[in-house]
Amino acid sequence: MSRYFSEDHEWIDVDGETGTVGITDYAQGQLGDIVFVEVPDEGKALSKGDDAAVVESVKAASDVYSPVSGTVIEGNAALADDPSLVNSDPEGEGWFFKITLSDAAELDGLMDEAAYEAFVARL
Amino acid sequence: MSDDDFEQPPIQTLPLDAWHRAKGGRMVEFAGYHMPVQYEGIMAEHLWTRESAGLFDVSHMGQLTFTGENVVPALEALMPADIAGLAFNRARYSLLLDAAGGILDDLMLTRQAEDRVYMVVNGATKYDDIAHMIEHLPDDVTLNLMDDQALLALQGPKAVDAMARVVPGVDALVFMQAAAFEWQGHDLWISRSGYTGEDGFEISVPAEAAGALADALTAQPEVKPIGLGARDSLRLEAGLPLYGHDLSPETTPVMADLGFALFKRRREEANFPGAERILPERENGPVAKRVGLLVDGRQPVREGASVLDADGSDVGKVTSGGFAPTVGAPIAMAYVPAALAAPGTRIQLTQRGKVHDATVAAMPFVPHRYFRGVK
């Protein structure tokens, strides 16, 4: 399994044709206390860069973009009851959705962990 | 860079800038200043203030003094407050009104002496307020912007314990009462007031002593520094309007549900700006009114969202909104038509293409806990 990162602070774990998407620890830290998450429904078709989910902190609403194209398999239902999972475990239990990748070549445009860390360090 | 390169006004720093950074404050631009939006997190800071005490830096606000033999009638000509009937060292909330009765700013004023009034106005509007007042005040009233003073607010149910340990005697003040105190050789002006709905104090302190006073207050076990983010969620829960959001020149005191600021003597004299519009509006009811909203579900509905009537027509706007940590649900303030303004009325809101159900609610959302004296 490999983990990739976008410049919009999403991460995606890829296992075969299936990806699990969330927002990074850096992103949750910037957003602050998260009070609401809306994840996409199963079956929703997404293109890379589409608005895929909404995350709202006390201060502001933000869109989460899909880092790849594909079809949503599952949204993380646990976030409806406990959106603070995104703060407490952003790169684990706080995942947003799982997606079947339609074009694995899109992953080439994303960063690996070292590149993302360097990217964040420059912000 | 050169000294005469002033096309873009730079963001200004306040006396406690370094103090906030040392405390881990996340700095943002607000009202033209670098200000801390949060330290450990808005939710934790909000809840801490409601259960203990929070220290806020509100030095961006304008502290003004007005002096002159005719200061009371001169200021009364600009706002609907009864200043003549105000005892010395008592504070009152008032509204700076334009000729049409629109709200130019909301403010707190304290009558310090026969010929002297102290006033605190909003940071983002202070220079416009000063220009307006200089234009309308007679020449024998002197306006002084006290830009060498910082302003701190200590708010919360335990604020009195911490404050009285640092400045003995402040616990004798009651809500909306103020007095001069001395602390380590510095003159302080302290009022028992604030904008969170909690008991607390606002402290005007010379800029050079502000850091030491902030250190002394945060050294008390009850006190943590609190940023602008929690200040906003606290005042929203307290039902208190924020100028530039819930109040503007397009709103009147009656529309804003601030009728308590229209004092009886001033209504009878009918001689404040916009009285010919505001007094009939007070009798007949406003066309639209500021109300509180409890929003169904968990998603915050924020400033700018539309209010829909039963036919789906856009009939009003949300002016403040967010997740309320003490309520545990999203709340908002909105201007709605009179027919939809009664508490309990079910309405719909629309934001980014999504419809939210909400119920008009009496404010405050969280009861005020001001200290009005021992019963």
- Pair type for strands B288-295 and B354-361: antiparallel
Q: Is the pLDDT of residue B336 over 90?
A: yes
Of the listed ranges B225-229, B238-242, B306-310, B318-322, the least confidently predicted one is: B306-310
Q: Is the pLDDT of residue B8 over 80?
A: no
Q: What is the total count of domains within chain A?
A: 1
Q: Is the pLDDT of residue B360 over 80?
A: yes
Are residues A83 and B298, on separate chains, in Cβ contact within 8 Å?
yes
Are residues A38 and B299, on separate chains, in Cβ contact within 8 Å?
yes
Are residues B322 and A80, on separate chains, in Cβ contact within 8 Å?
no
A119 lies in some domain = no
A36 lies in some domain = yes
Are residues B322 and A58, on separate chains, in Cβ contact within 8 Å?
yes
- Please name which of B78, B26, B357, B15 lies closest in space to residue B214, comparing C-alpha atoms: B15
A57 lies in some domain = yes
- Pair type for strands B223-225 and B53-57: parallel
Query: Which residue, chain included where needed, has tokens 């003159």?
Result: B187
A123 lies in some domain = no
**Which residue among B41, B300, B330 sits closest to A32, beta carbon to beta carbon?**
B41
Work out how many CB contacts closer than 8 A connect A with B: 42
Restricting to B residues 5-44, those with a Cβ less than 8 Å away from any Cβ of A are 37-38, 41-44
Enter the tokens of residue A94: 């706080």
Helix B207-218 with B159-166: angle, nearest 10 deg:
120
Q: What is the CATH number of the domain that holds A84?
A: 2.40.50.100
Query: Which residue, chain included where needed, has tokens 């961006």?
Result: B60
Residues of chain A in contact with residue B229, where contact means CB-CB under 8 angstroms, are 32, 58-59
Residues of chain B in contact with residue A38, where contact means CB-CB under 8 angstroms, are 299
Residue-wise pLDDT for A4-53, tens only, equals 999 999 999 999 999 999 999 999 999 999 999 999 999 999 999 999 99
The conformation of residue B9, written as its DSSP 8-state character, comes to: P
Look at residue B1 in the predicted model and tell me its pLDDT: 43
Residues of chain B in contact with residue A34, where contact means CB-CB under 8 angstroms, are none
Domain coverage including residue A56: 2-104
Residue-wise pLDDT for A90-112, tens only, equals 999 999 999 999 999 999 999 99
- Closest-approach residue (CA) in chain B for A79: B298
Are residues B298 and A61, on separate chains, in Cβ contact within 8 Å?
no
Q: Choosing among B37, B40, B42, which should be mutated to test the A contact, i.e. which has the most A CBs within 10 A? A: B42
Contact partners, residue A101, CB within 8 Å, separation at least 6: A14, A17, A18, A19, A68, A69, A70, A107
Q: How confident is the prediction for chain B on average, in pLDDT? A: 96
- Please name which of B219, B177, B174, B224 lies closest in space to residue B46, comparing C-alpha atoms: B224
What is the ipTM for the molecules in this complex?
Answer: 0.88
Q: Please, what are the domains in chain B?
A: 17-60+148-237 (3.30.1360.120), 288-375 (2.40.30.110)
Enter the tokens of residue B297: 């579900």
Q: Does A61 touch chain B (CB under 8 A)?
A: yes
Q: Does A123 touch chain B (CB under 8 A)?
A: no
Q: Is the pLDDT of residue B373 over 50?
A: yes
Look at residue B183 in the predicted model and tell me its pLDDT: 98
A61 lies in some domain = yes
Restricting to A residues 69-98, those with a Cβ less than 8 Å away from any Cβ of B are 80, 83
Q: Does A38 touch chain B (CB under 8 A)?
A: yes
Q: Mean of the pLDDT values across residues B2-22?
A: 80
Residue-wise pLDDT for B39-81, tens only, equals 999 999 999 999 999 999 999 999 999 999 999 999 999 999 9
A85 lies in some domain = yes
Look at residue B2 in the predicted model and tell me its pLDDT: 46
CA-based end-to-end distance of chain A: 28
Q: Is the pLDDT of residue B7 over 70?
A: no
Q: Is the pLDDT of residue B326 over 80?
A: yes
